[in-house]
């Protein structure tokens, strides 16, 4: 039975991948999480808490794995703490590569890493495209998360050898069901809960989580692999993206276009007083993210409308469940809980009580209330 290590297993991509391969019943799966084990509670896998950035903690997860699926990342498109987040991603990946190097001394090992098309497919024009042979985009060096992935792809060359195969999968934005943490699908959730939508001139690239999972599994099973796979998915303009969400959700919104130079001046000023998108997100929203994979040309991507429909339905079902829990919490507030506990306590006490043979009962003329003497056993 093959041993598989999955980092970032409680995240969107990681959880769906583990759930997918768990059903195969032919892998010994170890899942790594840092702070949140809840998404993994219902999965029949080995679970280990580990801070991958800390080299000493890597000792906890050492084993003779056949494959490492390294999906753990801090994904934040903001200036705040950007250097810190870059460091976390780069150092965590370096420690995974070192772990693979130890295993690779005795046996072949495959390491599949999460990257992003943002490393190469960032353009000023919608007519430009990148593939797996394209160089890193100069514009992407200005976006913290993408820059961290560029550094990770570069450092992988230091660890590759005959026994250690390191492969990068570069997806765009991922949508679909089972985003248990609600991070990947937050843009769509904000759309559903807002009456106003601000949009820019760029496009939004995205793929279905099921496509990403299947491709990851296929690469894991292949004997001969390329070093890099771009996941093209779909790329549509930001405006068309929101218009499609309107059609699918049945919710019409007020849409306002933000010209590039106006946003560039106003967003840093407004951010001091109200919560608006980070300037990094604004710059990204004015770029075009287009990929044409050399290795996945024949892959039939799930329809983008189907992906968005599934995402909206999932978000709505999660919100309904939260409302149910909220209503129950309101009904059974602390005061109500105390009354219920008292009733249960009295119910448990009654079997241990009995009537005294000489119960003295007297009828009170005022109030017509019976008085009884009780004795505890």
86 plus 126 within the same structural domain: yes
Q: Is 122 helix (H, G, I), strand (E, B) or coil?
A: coil
- Which band of pLDDT confidence, cut at 50, 70 and 90, is reported for residue 336? low
**Owning domain of residue 101:** 2-326
Return the ∠ at Cα 46 (arms to 170 and 211), rounded to 5°: 25
270 plus 306 within the same structural domain: yes
Q: Classify residue 237 by burial, with Cβ atoms within 10 Å: 0-12, 13-18, 19+.
A: middle
179 plus 225 within the same structural domain: yes
d(CA 6, CA 63): 13
Q: Which tens digit of pLDDT belongs to each residue from 213-239?
A: 999 999 999 999 999 999 999 999 999
d(CA 257, CA 243): 13
Q: How many Cα atoms are found within 13 Å in the side-chain-facing hemisphere of 32?
A: 24
252 plus 362 within the same structural domain: no
Q: What percent of the chain has pLDDT over 90?
A: 71
Q: Which tens digit of pLDDT belongs to each residue from 240-289?
A: 999 999 999 999 999 999 999 999 999 888 888 887 788 999 999 999 99
**Residue 174 carries which DSSP code?**
E
pLDDT at 367 over 80: no
Give the CATH number for residue 281.
Answer: 3.40.50.720
Mean per-residue pLDDT of the chain: 88
Q: Which tens digit of pLDDT belongs to each residue from 49-92?
A: 999 999 889 988 999 999 999 999 998 888 888 889 999 999 99
* Average pLDDT over every residue of 136-162: 96
Q: Classify residue 259 by burial, with Cβ atoms within 10 Å: 0-12, 13-18, 19+.
A: exposed
pLDDT at 16 over 80: yes
- The reported pLDDT for the residue numbered 348 is 62
74 plus 209 within the same structural domain: yes
299 plus 359 within the same structural domain: no
153 plus 77 within the same structural domain: yes
Q: Is 6 helix (H, G, I), strand (E, B) or coil?
A: strand
Lowest-confidence range among 74-88, 101-115, 155-169, 344-358?
A: 344-358
- The reported pLDDT for the residue numbered 354 is 46
Rg from Cα positions in the chain? 28
336 plus 308 within the same structural domain: no
Q: Is 199 helix (H, G, I), strand (E, B) or coil?
A: strand
355 plus 208 within the same structural domain: no
- The reported pLDDT for the residue numbered 373 is 40
Final residue in a domain of this structure, among 284, 311, 326: 326
202 plus 347 within the same structural domain: no
* Average pLDDT over every residue of 156-183: 95
d(CA 250, CA 255): 15
Alpha carbon distances (Å) from 366 to 90, 361, 363, 373: 83, 15, 9, 19
Contact in structure between 119 and 144 (CB atoms under 8 Å): no
- The reported pLDDT for the residue numbered 361 is 43
Return the ∠ at Cα 5 (arms to 18 and 158), rounded to 5°: 130
When divided into structural domains, the chain yields a total of 2
318 plus 339 within the same structural domain: no
* Strands 353-355 vs 203-208: parallel, antiparallel or unpaired: unpaired
Nearest to 300 by CA among 368, 232, 200: 232
304 plus 347 within the same structural domain: no
With residue 322 as reference, give the H or E element that holds it: helix 304-331
Lowest-confidence range among 41-45, 185-189, 329-333?
A: 329-333
pLDDT at 104 over 70: yes
């Amino acid at each position: 039975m093959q041993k598989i290590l999955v980092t970032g297993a409680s995240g969107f991509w990681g959880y769906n991948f583990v759930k997918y391969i768990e059903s195969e019943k032919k892998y010994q799966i170890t899942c790594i999480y840092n702070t949140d084990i809840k998404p993994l509670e219902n999965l029949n896998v080995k679970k280990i808490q580990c801070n991958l950035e800390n080299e000493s903690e890597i000792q906890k997860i050492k084993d003779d794995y056949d494959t490492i699926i390294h999906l753990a990342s801090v994904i934040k498109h903001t200036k705040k703490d950007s250097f810190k987040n870059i460091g976390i991603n780069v150092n965590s990946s370096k420690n995974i590569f070192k772990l693979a190097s130890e295993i690779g001394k005795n046996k072949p090992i495959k390491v599949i890493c999460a990257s992003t098309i943002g490393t190469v497919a960032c353009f000023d024009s919608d007519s430009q495209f990148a593939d797996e042979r394209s160089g890193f985009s100069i514009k992407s060096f200005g976006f913290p998360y993408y820059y961290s992935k560029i550094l990770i792809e570069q450092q992988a060359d230091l660890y590759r050898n005959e026994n250690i195969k390191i492969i990068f999968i570069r997806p765009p934005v991922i949508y679909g069901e089972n985003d248990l943490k609600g991070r990947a699908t937050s843009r769509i959730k904000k759309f559903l809960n807002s009456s106003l939508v601000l949009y820019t001139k760029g496009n939004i690239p995205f793929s279905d989580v099921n496509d990403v999972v299947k491709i990851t599994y296929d690469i894991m099973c292949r004997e001969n692999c390329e070093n890099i796979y771009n996941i093209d998915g779909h790329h549509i303009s930001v405006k068309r993206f929101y218009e499609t969400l309107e059609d699918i959700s049945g919710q019409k919104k007020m849409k306002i276009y933000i010209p590039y130079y106006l946003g560039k001046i106003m967003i840093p000023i407004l951010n001091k007083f109200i919560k608006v998108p980070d300037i990094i997100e604004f710059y990204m929203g004015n770029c075009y993210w287009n990929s044409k994979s050399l290795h996945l040309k024949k892959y039939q991507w799930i329809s983008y409308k189907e992906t968005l429909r599934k995402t909206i339905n999932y978000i709505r079902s999660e919100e309904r469940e939260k409302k149910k829990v909220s209503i129950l919490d309101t009904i059974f507030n602390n005061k109500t809980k105390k009354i219920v506990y008292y009733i249960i306590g009295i119910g448990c006490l009654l079997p241990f009580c009995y009537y005294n043979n000489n119960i003295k009962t007297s009828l009170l003329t005022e109030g017509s209330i019976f008085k009884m003497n009780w004795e505890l056993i």
